[in-house]
Structure 1
Amino acid sequence: MINKTLPLLDLHRHLDGNIRPATIWQLATKNNIVLPATQLSDFIPHVQIQGSESDLLAFLKKLDWGVAVLKDLDDVKRIAFENVEDAFNAGLHYAELRFSPYYMSMNHNLPIAEVVAAVVDGIKIGMKTFNVNINLIGILSRTFGVKHCQLELDALLTHKNDLVAIDLAGDEYNFPGDLFVDHFKQVRDAGLNVTVHAGEAGGAKSVWQAINDLGATRIGHGVATIEDEKLMSYMVNNNIAIESCLTSNYQTGTVKDLATHPLKTFLKHGIKACLNTDDPAVQGIEIKHEYTVAQNVLKLSDKDTTQLQKNSIDVCFLSDTDKKQLVSTI
């Protein structure tokens, strides 16, 4: 059960993985883009998971139509605004929305830095309209290689004052963290926080790389952490958090049975694990659903889910003053 005396947060939530199917449909019509269906109801299975996928890359393909219809910067601004509205409607008090500007720009050759600016503008307009606090995390899409990630980072750093962190996401197996050591030195030198997708498609080694080579203080998914007792102890002792996404981990095939998800073990070890959505529109879920899954499937207690909420507050990329302010508003 969600503890209503505490704020509700979502720290691992992809903006470009939360484009409404109806918006994709409308933008495709506006931009004369042919979709693989003649009506919205038939199109939804192309952009929303039906059950589960064979692996992470199959899951990620579901995101492609959402960015394929972004033909101009107003389209980008629209989906950013709608992400704020969705966060508000989900009952969130604070969310960190992450996005890959290169992934959003590539279909129609939009200037990457201008995509970042359009996202920032859409978020700011949304926050003036809806009572929810939002911060942004830029993503380097490792799937497109080292050089493209540098272009992406350059664009993100031109707007570093509008970001709280940089993430590394995409094909973890074929593009391991050690390829991006220099990128994340630049990130840390710029004064930004580091969160990295690791231990999802790769093993515990990927999590170690994210921490030791890239400087991550939060790990996205981190499922493979369960394989290494030393790693779990290190994360506890060094305050390294795990951004857990239950439904996503089942839908990507990272865990075959949700009841065996390691989140409960992480909490027992004292790891600062928190609960998040990942790609709400693609998954057809929202944050409250994840808390229901945590209790009904993983059999977490009310004390456990309250701890998840407390962990979210503790590890979010806000100053101590802003954290206290967030808690005081409830």
Structure 2
Amino acid sequence: MIRPDLPLIDLHRHLDGSVRLETILEVGGRYNLPLPAKDLEGLRPYVQVTTPVPGLLAFFEKFEWMIGILVNYDVCHRIAYENVQDALNEGIDYIELRFSPMFMAEPHGLHPQGIVEAVVDGVAAGERDFGVKTNLIGIITRGFGPKTGQKELDALLAHRDDFVALDLAGDEVNFPGEWFVDHFKQAWNVGWGVTVHAGEAGGSPAIWQAIRELRATRIGHAVRAVDDPDLMDYLAENGIGVEMNLTSNVQTSTVPDYANHPLKQMLRHGILATINTDDPGISNIDLPYEYEIAVERAGLYEDQVAQAQQNALTIAFLSEEEKADLLTKKRSA
């Protein structure tokens, strides 16, 4: 159902959840890492979700070997570079890749600023070689707490011109957004956009907090917004973007199945909802899969899918000139 006259855009993809199985095997072998398997099919069940898991924490466990191979900055550079190449192979015209420096640094004691430098350089090299317009979003991981979150933010701010936005991700139930207001003030002060994971494991109050206190103009997941009619109206009337992830939400049991995913309801309500991949390396999907297979299972009509594709261009962290350029290039291709 991909509209060929509109850019294909992924606004919600975790770079560290988009690591190739082949890369895990190669790097693991080179550095003698204790991988759970030595071949692709043996490794797959340890890294990828094949059937829904009982919740987000079970899904997060699949990151073990995604980040477990990040033994040095060269590997981090490679992962970033391959993310852009994979976007090209999926036919993506514009992608926003997000990552948490502390999350990537932790397994092997790397420095978060070194992680940032490696990712920035890897993405720049990928853009140059593959021609896919790519922007970066920095993540503060809630679970590290506000103090470590500031260290993470400092690493991102050292390369402030290489980022378009700040995100807050992780355990929203036990590490509420209220703890991170001062961090996001710093993001506003340097002109970054704000997108926040909210309303996935938590309820609609987490979404309200992200909008009112963190000044989010986009929300990641936001599936619990449908429980709050006033919030649904607010999202629609104020043009708050929603980065939805069909397969990921089914796999984490955030929604019971595709048919009960709220994307269709949000689009009907006039909300700027979009279709994205989240962690395609873990979910074993790509963006065309979400547009061709997942949307059909979710019961979306062709015009609704096209609206979601248009919404992605509308809410992208791009200037109006950049959006117009993307559209022009697509229609002249």
Same fold by TM-score greater than 0.5: yes
**Partner of residue 314, structure 1:** 314
CA contact (8 A) 2:13 2:279 kept: yes
Distance in structure 2 (CA, Å) of the matches to 1:257 and 1:282: 18
Letter aligned with residue 314 of structure 2? D
Matched, 1:287 2:284: no
> Structure 2 counterpart of 1:325, which letter?
D
SS in 2 for 1:63: helix
Determine the structure 1 residue equivalent to 2:107.
107
Q: Determine if the alignment matches structure 1 residue 195 to structure 2 residue 195.
A: yes
Q: Distance in 2 between matches of 1:99 and 1:182?
A: 20
* 1:186 corresponds to 2:170: no
| 1:60 paired residue number | 60
2:69 aligned residue: 69
Partner of residue 80, structure 1: 80
SS of corresponding position for 1:196 = strand
Take 1:133 and 1:199, find their aligned partners in 2: how far apart are those partners? 29
- In 1, are the aligned partners of 2:185 and 2:214 still within 8 Å (CA)? yes
**AA paired with 2:165?**
A
5+ long unaligned stretches in structure 2: none
Segment drifting more, 100-109 vs 195-204: 100-109
How far apart are residue 294 of structure 1 and its match? 4.6
Distance 1:3 1:252, change over 3 A: same
- Give, in angstroms, the shift of residue 213 of structure 1: 1.2
The SS at the match of 2:243 is strand
Note the C-alpha offset of 1:126. Answer: 0.7
Alpha carbons 1:245, 1:275 under 8 Å: kept: yes
Aligned-residue offset at 1:189? 1.1
Shift of 1:125: 0.7
Match of 1:97 in 2: 97
Give the secondary structure class of the aligned counterpart of 1:239.
coil
Residue 110 of structure 1 aligns to a residue in which SS? Answer: coil
Shift of 1:37: 2.3
Separation of aligned partners in 1, 2:293 and 2:142: 30
What value does the CA root-mean-square deviation take over the aligned residues?
Answer: 0.9
2:233 is aligned to 233
What does residue range 127-276 of structure 1 map to in structure 2 within 5 Å? Answer: 127-276=127-276
- Asked whether the 8 Å contact 1:140–1:153 carries over to 2, the reply is yes
How far, CA to CA, are the matches of 2:72 and 2:243 in structure 1? 32
Give the match for residue 121 of structure 1.
121
Tell me the distance in 2 between the aligned counterparts of 1:238 and 1:167.
20
Secondary structure in structure 2 of the residue aligned to 1:82: helix
Q: In terms of mean alpha carbon deviation, does 149-158 or 295-304 score higher?
A: 295-304
Verify the 8 A CA contact 2:258 2:294 in the aligned structure 1.
no
**Aligned partners of 1:15, 1:326: CA distance in 2, in Å?**
22
Q: Distance in 2 between matches of 1:295 and 1:248?
A: 13
Deviates most, 30-39 or 309-318: 30-39
Kept in 2: contact 1:219–1:240 (CA 8 A): yes
Displacement after TM superposition at 1:40 (Å): 3.1
| One-letter amino acid of the counterpart of residue 123, structure 2 | I
Please list the CA deviations of residues 216-262 of structure 1 after superposition, one character each: whole Å capped at 9, or x if unmatched: 00000000000001001111111111101000000011001210111
Question: CA–CA distance in 1 between the matches of 2:79 and 2:204?
Answer: 35
CA distance in 2: counterparts of 1:41 and 1:287, whole angstroms = 22
Question: C-alpha distance in 2, partners of 1:29/1:40?
Answer: 13
Write the distance in 2 (CA, Å) between the matches of 1:237 and 1:39: 51
Paired residues of 1:165 and 1:192 also in contact (CA < 8 A) = yes
Q: Aligned partners of 2:202 and 2:295: how far apart in 1?
A: 27
- Normalization by structure 1: what TM-score? 0.98
Pairwise CA distance, 1:295: 3.8
Q: Are the equivalent residues in 1 in contact too, given 2:10–2:277 (CA < 8 A)? A: yes
Q: Distance in 1 between matches of 2:25 and 2:264?
A: 39
User: Does 1:10 pair with 2:10?
Assistant: yes
Aligned mates of 1:69, 1:277 — CA distance in 2 = 22
Percent identity, please.
Answer: 50
Quick check: 36-45 or 248-257, which moved more? Answer: 36-45
Instruction: Tell whether the 8 Å contact from 1:55 to 1:253 is kept in structure 2 after alignment.
Output: yes
Tell me which amino acid in the other structure corresponds to 1:315: I
- Runs of at least 4 residues off by over 4 Å: none
Q: Is the 8 A contact 2:247 2:294 kept in 1?
A: no
Give the partner amino acid of 1:279.
D
Q: Shift in Å at residue 311 of structure 1?
A: 0.3
Give me the TM-score of the superposition, normalised by structure 2. 0.97
Q: For 1:51, what is the secondary structure of its paired residue? A: coil
SS in 2 for 1:92: coil
Q: Deviations over 1:190-239 (max 9, x none)?
A: 21000000000000011111111111000000000000010011111111
2:28 aligns with 28
